[in-house]
Amino acid sequence: MKYITAIFTAFSISLLALPVGAYESIAPSADELKAMDVLLIDIREPHEWQETGIVEGAIPITASRLFLQELAPLLDDRPVALICRTGNRTEQLSGLLEPHLQQEVINIEGGIFRLMAEGYQPVPVSKHMQ
């Protein structure tokens, strides 16, 4: 019984240690990402979308002061997954965004550059937006 109590106490303390605004960071392959039931948002700048293209199915919304207003009409019950070039911006934005949403927030580690290094070919943003 002491063992179970110790495990429960350790688990409870670890939950209390989770920071407010906790989010999940994952590094799925491109195929895994496309198969996920998430609202995938590419937060890069328009010139970056033009340079590299975007992940098929991603919605481009620049991380700006109007980000929440542009995101709000798209929200449903799916988690919100954020992708950028290398994962740095999405890591920062995930922590800021999570307290404001009811949905789970997911940071895609390594961004589109990681996916491209693994052989993924993004789609042109102009084709994607049609």
Q: Given this model, what pLDDT does residue 18 score? A: 40
Q: Tell me the domains of the chain and their CATH numbers.
A: 21-128 (3.40.250.10)
Of 67 and 22, more confident = 67
Residue with tokens 């700048």: 45
What is the distance between the alpha carbons of residues 98 and 121, in angstroms, rounded to a whole number? 29
Span 57-78, average pLDDT: 95
Which helix (H) or strand (E) element contains residue 103?
none
What is the distance between the alpha carbons of residues 9 and 107, in angstroms, rounded to a whole number? 29
Q: Given this model, what pLDDT does residue 129 score? A: 56
Tokens of 1: 């019984």
What is the distance between the alpha carbons of residues 54 and 84, in angstroms, rounded to a whole number? 9
Q: Given this model, what pLDDT does residue 22 score? A: 72
For residue 15, pLDDT over 80 is answered with no
Confidence of residue 16 (pLDDT cuts 50, 70, 90): very low
Q: Given this model, what pLDDT does residue 126 score? A: 72
* Model pTM score: 0.80
Tokens of 38: 């998430």
